[in-house]
Copies of this chain bind each other. A is one copy, B any other.
Amino acid sequence: MTRTDASDRLNRLDLIEARLKSGEALILADLAAELGVSRRTLSRDIALMRARGVPVEADRGRGGGIRLSARWGVGRMALSYDEAIDLMISLAVAEQLQSPLFMANLGSVRQKLVASFGPRQRAQVARLKSRILVGQHASNPTRESLAPVDATAIRRLHRAFVERRLLQITYSAPERPPTSRVIEPQFLHYNAPVWYVLAWDHLRQDVRTLRCDRITNAQPLGETFELRPFSLFEPALEGDHVLQ
């Protein structure tokens, strides 16, 4: 290996980690040859990795070698922004489900996820739970009318919901002409397996309950909105106030 740039050692450390992650036990001398450095240098690299917290285990003697501690690296994920938001919402739902089993370690997963957001969004994200309502299971007719969702629209809805931004949507109820609206997605409401968004409709200046699977198009607008009190939406939750 000829040196190419300044970050050579860093790249090598990454390479070593990648090779170790394959799971096999590696022989120092072999890996050194593979990387084009001396055994001693590789030995020093491993020591450095250990000092920085990577649990490289070693077996001495015949049949030995180096490998990663079996359980390390687990859960090192780099989620995309949308994935992180979806996971955030799902964890909020799981917490609402009140199932004690979920709470064992899921709370700390949520904390880590919250911490991974930037400081500006952290506050928004941390208070997500209070904006997600979990209700009863949906009735059978409702369940059967469930339409396949537009993944892009849902992704944008989620984003707008978390970032508190206005969203322009097309709402397509069956046997009605689709309508276009500008909404503030204030609350999400889950009646398994159906999702609703409790929204403030900007044109009509009123509360609307929309079924998420009927949102066929969504365009994020830049503007942000303020949270409105939940009491405003409570009437919409009783009975069947879903917008047709």
Residues of A within 8 A of B (CB): 5-7, 10, 21-23, 44, 48, 51-52, 68, 70-71, 73-87, 90-91, 93-94, 97-102, 104-106, 108-109, 112-113, 116-121, 137, 146, 148-149, 151, 154-155, 158, 190, 192-195, 212-213
Query: When the two chains form their complex, are residues B83 and A108 in contact, meaning their CB atoms are under 8 A apart?
Result: yes
- Scoring A83, A93, A117, A119 by chain B CB atoms within 10 A of each residue's CB, the highest score goes to A83
| Cβ contacts under 8 Å, A82 to chain B | 104-105
Q: Is the Cβ of A155 less than 8 Å from the Cβ of B76?
A: no
A93 proximity list for chain B (CB < 8 A): 94
Q: Which of B7, B21, B86, B192 contacts A52 (CB 8 A)?
A: B7
Once the chains bind, are B23 and A68 in contact (CB under 8 Å)?
no
- Closest chain B CB from A56 CB (angstroms): 14
Which residues of B have CB within 8 Å of A98?
Answer: 193
Contact residues in B for A5 (Cβ distance below 8 Å): 51
A99–B193 CB distance below 8 A: yes
Q: Is the CB of A90 within 8 A of B94?
A: yes
Copies of the polypeptide in the assembly: 2
* Residues of chain B contacted by A212 (CB below 8 angstroms): 101
The complex places the Cα of A117 from the Cα of B22 at a distance, in Å, of 10
Determine the residue in chain B with the shortest Cβ distance to A149.
B100
Q: Considering the complex, give the chain B residue whose CB is closest to the CB of A78.
A: B76
- The answer on a CB contact under 8 Å between A83 and B105 is yes
Q: Which residues of B contact A195 (CB under 8 A)?
A: 99, 101
Closest Cβ neighbor of A13 among chain B residues:
B10
Contact of A149 among B51, B79, B101, B194 (CB under 8 A): B101
CB distance from A101 to the nearest CB of B (A): 5
Sample 28 A-B pairs with CB under 8 A, ordered by A number: A5-B51, A6-B44, A10-B48, A10-B52, A23-B119, A70-B121, A74-B80, A74-B81, A75-B78, A75-B81, A75-B87, A76-B79, A77-B77, A77-B109, A82-B105, A83-B106, A86-B106, A87-B106, A93-B94, A94-B94, A99-B193, A99-B195, A100-B149, A100-B193, A101-B154, A101-B195, A104-B151, A137-B137
